[in-house]
Amino acid sequence: MVSPAIALAFIPLLLTVLIRCRFYFVLFYRAVLVRIWRDCVTGLSREERAYQYVLTHATPGDPDSILEAFDVWCSKVEFISTIGPKKGKVLDRMLMEQSPLTVLELGSHCGYTTVRIARSLPLGARLYSVEMDQRNAAIAEKIIRLAGFDDDTVELIVNPSDEVIPRLRSEYGLERLDFVFMDHWKKCYLPDLQMLEGTGLLGKGSMIVADNVLFPGAPKFLRYIRKCGLYEWKVHRATLEYSRGIRDGMAELVFQGIK
Amino acid sequence: MTRDSLITSENDVDIGLEFEGLEDEVDTFQEEHERERHRGKRRDGERAKKKKRGNGERRKRASNAGQEEEKLQARREKKGRRKRSSSDQQAEGREGDEAEQPTTKSSKAAKTRKNVKNEKTRKVEKEEKEDEADDEERNAKRKKKHGSNNKEENVEDGNKHTVKEKAGEVKKKKHKKVVETSSEKETSEEEDSEEEDSEEKEVRPETLTPEELETLKEAVDERKKLIQGLRGKPWAMKKKLVTLRESQEFVEKYEGALGKGKGRKLYAYKVMMTKKWMKFKRDFENFKTACIPWEMKIKEIESHFGSSVASYFIFLRWMYGINMILFCLTFGLVMVPEALMGRPYGTIPRKTVPRAEAPSAMDFAVLWDFGGYAQYSVLFYGYYNNQRAIGWLKFRMPLSYFLVGVGTVAYSYMVVIRTMARNANESGVGDDNSFNFSWKMFTSWDYLIGNPETADNKFASITTIFKEAILEEQESRKDDNIHLTRFLRVLANFLVLCCLAGSGYLIYFVVRRSQKFALDGLENHTWWERNEVNMVMSLLGMFCPMLFDVISALENYHPRVALQWQLGRIFALFLGNLYTFIIALMDEINLKREEEKIVKFNITTWEASLYNISASENSTAPPVTIQPADVPRGPCWETMVGQEFVRLMISDTMTTYITLLIGDFLRAVLVRFLNYCWCWDLEAGFPSYSEFDVSGNVLGLIFNQGMIWMGAFYAPCLPALNLLRLHVSMYLQCWAVMCCNVPQERVFKASGSNNFYMAMLLVILFLSTLPAIYTIVTIPPSFDCGPFSGKKHMFDVIQETLESDFPAWISKVFSSASNPGLVLPFILLMVLAIYYLQSTSKSYKEANVDLKKKLQTQNEENKKKNKLAALKAQMDLEEARKATSPSAEHQKNNNASPDQEDEEEDRGRGQRMYHSQNGRSPPPPRHDGYLPATRAPVPRNYHHGNQGSAGYLPGFPRESEARMHRVSSLQRH
């Protein structure tokens, strides 16, 4: 039997681990425990709750107020993985610099990022947003319409990304993508990127932005872009949305083509 | 050190080139001709450059050289042209070779006589020239005159004297000859000589007139000087390289050409030997490096992880060296004599395993705890006999034991203090924080890094350092919520104190419990309970620093300060643990002594009963022989202390290695291979690979050493075990670092912390010798074990030796010397001396600071003066220009330029204000477009060039020196 004194000697380790990983524990609590509890209590899905909050707290037709309501809900009430205000600003800046005409968003979830992108697009630009989940897509549709973006600006495609991408050229008549934003399943980053390369929609100067490359993390994706040499890339280091202590990054890739 | 090697290599190349040049000269004429043409072109270019340089004396000389080169060039070309025409007459020329030589000589003599001015020197030189070996000699002389430090000079210097003597002998004869032959005509000899020259390179110097030779030599020397001073020139790298190559070619060509005949061969031979000697020296250096243990390993680590990690390994190696000596002392003077010459095992009770323990004495578990046969062996204090002299050598075992114990401690003190003093000397020069940004700017880079990843990290860390420094500067001006920060810091310290107290109490508790177990008998308890003390100590030592690290995040200190706090806290923790351990041990010693008393009493009764039995049996037969294993014996607290320390060290070592294997290796393996199938990036994200924890490792090493110092007196095997441990950990840690650690994110230079470690080592040394000395002095040794058994104090052995082994007067001297009347004044004197030395050193330091200031102000003044001079020169020039060319455009230009100049000066001043503490001027701004219009910036350049070459600025040289020293101080261990 292990003596109690030896067990006591492990207390500092326990404390250290607790303090070190406090952000992860908080995240776990907010993103998992609270969600399960609320799901049981309200009988609604998380996205629906968020939509209710936004509907009651934001001004319809004003994207800024909708985004703000979202931020408040995500930081104060519950946790939803969107891009968040800080990384969102980086994204806004990139969009301003690039001013793309054709934008593809993979994984719109409940529309936060879609609104964010759509709001900083130039006139006449078109955003294709791909969402796999039916219910989420419904919410996203509502939110987008609430923010005042019509079908000409934002087109929501409800399908898995790996089915949509090969058909982009044929069905949606796209010639070139200026800007791609990835925020869906982290494991799909790499296959989708390769698929995009395969379709030839990426031209020289097309920008691809991938969120959450460090914290849930897409190591294969990073390894690939490091090696393949097709891109000029950098990782914007930041923290995870609505959380201070967890490091995360957003990868910015500029397609250079084969030299 | 690096610079040294660089210099040698350069010289090496130099000489190599020269040598090649010599060989080249035997080449065909065509080639020679072509080369000459090339050189001519290049020389023209260079001359232009030299004009640009505009550098006082140097410039004059250069132009001199240039002129003379021109002359030479002209001659060469003539020669070249003539060569073809003369190629038909080659045969004739060769025939006439011998005949013509005297004539050339005579012609030259005639010329010299015309030169009335410096006739004497010329004569001497000419006569020398006729000597065969004179050429090198003069070179050497010349070089010496010019103060050039070329390496060959050293070689040639030796020959110089002998040759000179010879020259002196021949002098008179030659002189006469000259006078005789001087009357001949001097019409066609020049052409002839030139023909000769083109055909036979070796005789070429003959063709030159002495003046030309002079100038040629001067030019060569000039070039040599140029090559040497090139490093300090404020030129672009490209220009430097070109100039260097040209100058080297020039030198190699003409220097060799100045010799002739046999002298040339000798010269070539010498050069070859110099080259070989150089190569040998370099090889020898390499060999020496290869002889330093683990040098290559450490260098490799240094290139990957920066100097801070390498400094740990250098420290480890230094420790290894010290332990080697300690080991030699204890092993050679205590263990081996006892094992060889002492009584063998089993002869007396203290050298025998007691009957009760005998069955389990060879069990691994017992041996692993250093009981059983290990306890009753030379490894521990108790085994040694109190016999005064052992063996045929009459080796004084107890005395040796005592002296070795004292000697190891004394030696350690000496080494540590000496190293500290040396380090303090070196680091004491560049200390001040006043040049914060300049220091960071110019000294941040670690030039030993050879790994791209580390270089990236270093780059990032420098960037962050700058960011932090700027933030710090900003923060020093504003204070935001100082109360909160203070509160947090107090809170952090409180938490740390709680943690320390808790760990101390836990250890105390555990030790007391283990005593209880020991009283009950260890066999009744599990392995966990038996090893509780060591386990708890190791675990606390491992985990508490982590907690401190987390707590220190509260404090929001600068990383460097935070590191020091962290070190201090870990130090306190280790020290607290160690001392708790010692206090508990003291308790145990007291217990053992009580037990000893009882045993002693029992033994007397036992002996009495034995005696009684034997008496009652009334047998005249041999006195009862009792097996030594059966004799009852005391608990022998010394051996117990020794055992405790050995166990502690072993468990400490085990913990270190296991942490290494689990924390580093296993983690690295998991991170590496789980990363293929994990939902987040393990390598870049949370667990990542571990970094090498320099401070923790150094502290571990230091405390380990403290344990050795404490326990070595009671367990002579401890240094040997430690040596083994250090040896293994050298390889293991080298491997672990290279295989599973990543370079630190905060790569910092180790230089500053080096003496900090040494200071900690000294403190630990003091604190660890304290209890050892206390036990030695106050507690009487056990009555039946160890070399001092039967004495009242352990140090009585000295007195005993003095009384019995030395003549009477020595003991008298000693006893009178130990009289307080003598000792007190001596101590007083010592204190006074220390005080005096300290005050003088303080005053020296102040003087140093004053001198530094003085140098700075002087430098400022010089700069001002130079600037003024430059301005004045510029004004003069402009005025002259105005006078000569009064065109409107020029005037405009001129009017504009002073304004510009003023502006420039203002800017310069501003910059200087900014860098004012730095003590070096900002490089004067260059106006390349502005240069051709007016020649104003020339003096400015001159000023700058002067600065570069003279190096009187206090800032930069000092800095570089400090760096060099620091690096060397690392290697000193």
Mark yes or no for CB contact B536/A9 under 8 Å.
Answer: yes
Q: Is the CB of B547 inside 8 Å of chain A's CB atoms?
A: yes
Instruction: Confirm if A71 and A85 have CB atoms less than 8 A apart.
Output: yes
Distance in Å, alpha carbon of A35 to nearest chain B alpha carbon: 21
Alpha-carbon distance B854 to B563, whole Å?
36
Under a CB-based contact definition with an 8 Å cutoff, are residues A105 and A181 in contact?
A: yes
How much is the pLDDT for B426?
62
Q: Is residue A180 over pLDDT 80?
A: yes
How far apart CA B457 and CA B459 sit, in angstroms, is 5
**B680 shares contact with chain A (CB less than 8 Å):** yes
B675 touches chain A (CB under 8 A): yes
Work out the minimum CA distance from A127 to partner chain B, whole angstroms. 29
- Known catalytic membership, residue A131: no
CA of residue B90 relative to chain centroid, distance: 62
Tell me the per-residue pLDDT of B24-58, one tens digit each, with 9 for 90 and over: 444 444 444 444 455 444 444 444 444 444 444 44
Dihedral over Cα of B42, B48, B54, B57: its sign: positive
Report the C-alpha gap between B142 and B147 in whole angstroms. Answer: 8
Which residue in chain A has the smallest CA separation from B674?
Answer: A219
Question: Between chains, do B675 and A12 touch, taking CB under 8 Å as contact?
Answer: no
Exposure of B479 in the CB half-sphere (CA atoms within 13 A): 5
Interface probe, candidates A2, A3, A190, A239, chain B, greatest B C-beta count within 10 A: A3
Count of A–B CB contacts within 8 Å? 77
Between A7 and B205, the more confident residue is: A7
Whether residue B679 lies within 8 A of chain A, CB to CB, comes out as yes
Q: Is B584 on the interface with A (CB under 8 A)?
A: no
Q: Which residues of B touch A8 (CB under 8 A)?
A: 506, 536
pLDDT value, residue B208: 63
What is the distance between the alpha carbons of residues B436 and B560, in angstroms, rounded to a whole number? 14
Q: Is the CB of B491 inside 8 Å of chain A's CB atoms?
A: no
| Residue B425: pLDDT band with limits 50, 70, 90 | low
**Alpha-carbon Rg for chain B in angstroms:** 41
Task: Map chain A to HEC letters.
Answer: CCCHHHHHCCHHHHHHHHHHCHHHHHHHHHHHHHHHHHHHHHCCCHHHHHHHHHHHHCCCCCHHHHHHHHHHHHHHHCCCCCCCHHHHHHHHHHHHHHCCCEEEEECCCCCHHHHHHHHCCCCCCEEEEEECCHHHHHHHHHHHHHHCCCCCCEEEEECCHHHHHHHHHHHHCCCCEEEEEECCCHHHHHHHHHHHHHHCCEEEEEEEEECCHHHHHCHHHHHHHHHHCCEEEEEEEEECCCCCCCEEEEEEEEECCCC
User: H helices of B660-795, where?
Assistant: 667-674, 694-711, 718-740, 751-778
Distance of CA B9 to the CA centre of its chain: 20
Our answer to whether residue A76 is catalytic in this structure is no
Residue B836 has pLDDT above 90, yes or no: yes
Selection from B102-116, B557-571, B760-774, B955-969 with the highest mean pLDDT = B760-774
Residue A153 near residue A123, CB atoms below 8 Å: no
- CB contact under 8 Å between A12 and B536, yes or no, is no
Tell me what pLDDT residue B680 has: 67
Question: What is the pLDDT averaged over residues A17-43?
Answer: 90
**pLDDT for the residue B647:** 87
Whether B358 has a pLDDT exceeding 60, the answer reads yes
Q: Looking at A141, A192, A241, A252, which residue is catalytic?
A: A241
Mean pLDDT of chain B: 71
Q: Is B661 exposed, middle or buried (0-12, 13-18, 19+ CB in 10 A)?
A: middle
Where is average pLDDT lowest: B121-125, B355-359, B519-523?
B121-125
Look at B919 and B397; give whichever has higher pLDDT. B397
pLDDT(B924) > 50: no
Fill in the amino acid letter for B317.
Answer: R
For chain B, the first-to-last Cα distance in angstroms comes to: 16
Say how far apart CA B403 and CA B811 lie, in whole Å: 17
Predicted complex ipTM: 0.74
Neighbours of A176 (CB within 10 A): 15
* Integer Cα distance of B456 and B468 in angstroms: 18
User: What pLDDT shows up at residue B868?
Assistant: 93
Most confident of B75-89, B271-285, B579-593: B271-285
pLDDT digits (tens, 9 = 90+) for B657-707: 998 898 889 999 988 888 777 766 677 666 778 888 887 888 889 889 998
User: Is residue B643 classed exposed, middle or buried when 0-12, 13-18 and 19+ CB atoms within 10 A define those classes?
Assistant: buried
- Best B498, B508, B539, B552 member to test A by mutation, with max A CBs in 10 Å, is B539
Contact check, Cβ <8 Å, B684/A218: no
Rounded mean pLDDT of B314-342?
91
More confident residue, A131 or B207: A131
Residue B75 one-letter amino acid = R
Q: Which stretch of DSSP H or E encloses residue B189?
A: helix B189-199
For B376-412, the pLDDT digits (tens) are 888 899 888 888 888 888 888 889 999 999 999 999 9
Q: Are strands A126-131 and A177-182 parallel, antiparallel or unpaired?
A: unpaired
Q: What is the CA radius of gyration of chain A?
A: 20
A247/B532 CB distance under 8 A: no
B435 three-state secondary structure = coil
Q: How far is CA B708 from CA B341, B576, B757, in A?
A: 26, 17, 17
At a CB cut-off of 8 Å and minimum separation 6, what does B139 contact? B156, B217, B220, B255, B258
For residue B806, the model assigns a pLDDT of 83
Q: Which of A2, A10, A16, A226 to mutate to probe the B interface, most B CBs <10 Å?
A: A16
3-class state of residue B623 by DSSP: coil
What does the block give as tokens for B635? 């608990």
Confidence of residue B582 (pLDDT cuts 50, 70, 90): confident
Reference B130, options B205, B77, B233; nearest CA is: B205
Which residues from chain A sit within 8 angstroms of residue B680, using beta carbons? 186, 214-217, 219
- Per the model's pLDDT, the better-predicted residue between B97 and B571 turns out to be B571
Question: Is A142 annotated in the active site?
Answer: no
Render the burial of B338-367: b for 16+ CB within 10 Å, e for the rest: beebbeebeebbbbbbeeeeeeebeeeebe
Burial class (CB in 10 A: 0-12, 13-18, 19+), B889: exposed
CA distance B860 to B916: 9
pLDDT tens per residue across span B162-206: 444 444 444 444 444 444 444 444 444 444 444 444 444 444 555
Strand partners, A202: A177
- pLDDT tens-digit profile of A53-103? 999 998 888 899 999 998 999 888 888 888 888 889 989 999 999 889 999
pLDDT band at A259 (very low <50, low <70, confident <90, very high): low
- Whole-prediction pTM: 0.62
- Mutation pick from B456, B505, B547, B690 vs chain A, by most beta carbons of A within 10 Å, is B547
Query: What is residue B715's predicted lDDT score, i.e. its pLDDT?
Result: 92
Nearest chain B residue to A8 by CA: give it.
Answer: B506
Backbone angles phi, psi at B498, to 5 degrees: -60, -45
For residue A173, CA distances in Å to A166, A176, A177, A204 come to 12, 9, 11, 19
pLDDT of residue B155: 41
Task: Give the contacts of B26 (CB within 8 A, at least 6 positions apart).
Answer: B201
pLDDT of residue B459: 77
Q: Residue B622: pLDDT above 80?
A: no
Between CA B370 and CA B380 the distance in angstroms is: 9
Inform me whether the C-beta atom of residue B157 falls under 8 Å from chain A C-beta atoms: no
Mean pLDDT check: name the lowest of A216-220, B85-89, B882-886: B85-89
The pLDDT-based confidence of B919 (bands split at 50, 70, 90) is very low
- At residue B62, the pLDDT reads 44
Is the pLDDT reported for residue B655 higher than 60?
yes
- Res B354: pLDDT: 85
Region class of A148: left (phi > 0), else alpha (psi between -120 and 50), else beta: left
Active-site residue flag, A136: no
What is the mean pLDDT of the segment spanning B721-725? 94
Instruction: Say if strands A102-106 and A202-210 run parallel, antiparallel, or are unpaired.
Output: unpaired
Higher pLDDT, residue B594 or B201: B594
- What is the pLDDT at residue B60? 46
Res B259: pLDDT: 55
**How many other β-carbons are positioned within 10 Å of the β-carbon of residue B225?**
18
Cβ atoms of B71 and B176 within 8 Å: the answer is: no
CB contact under 8 A, B680 and A9: no
Residue B891 has pLDDT above 80, yes or no: no
Of A32-36, B57-61, B965-969, where does mean pLDDT reach its minimum? B965-969
Query: What is the Cα–Cα distance from B941 to B923, expressed in whole angstroms?
Result: 10
pLDDT score at B883: 87
What pLDDT does residue B751 have? 52
CB contact under 8 A, B526 and A217: no
Q: In this structure, what DSSP letter does residue B729 have?
A: H
Question: Of B923, B919, B913, which Cα lies nearest the Cα of B955?
Answer: B919
Average pLDDT over residues B465-469: 72
Question: Is A212 among the catalytic positions?
Answer: yes
pLDDT at position B533 is 80
- Torsion, CA B936, CA B938, CA B940, CA B946, rounded to 10: -160
Give yes or no for B515 touching A (CB within 8 A): no
Of B192-196, B339-343, B435-439, B674-678, highest mean pLDDT: B339-343
Least confident of B65-79, B502-516, B678-692, B718-732: B65-79
Q: Rounded CA gap, B939 and B132, in Å? A: 46
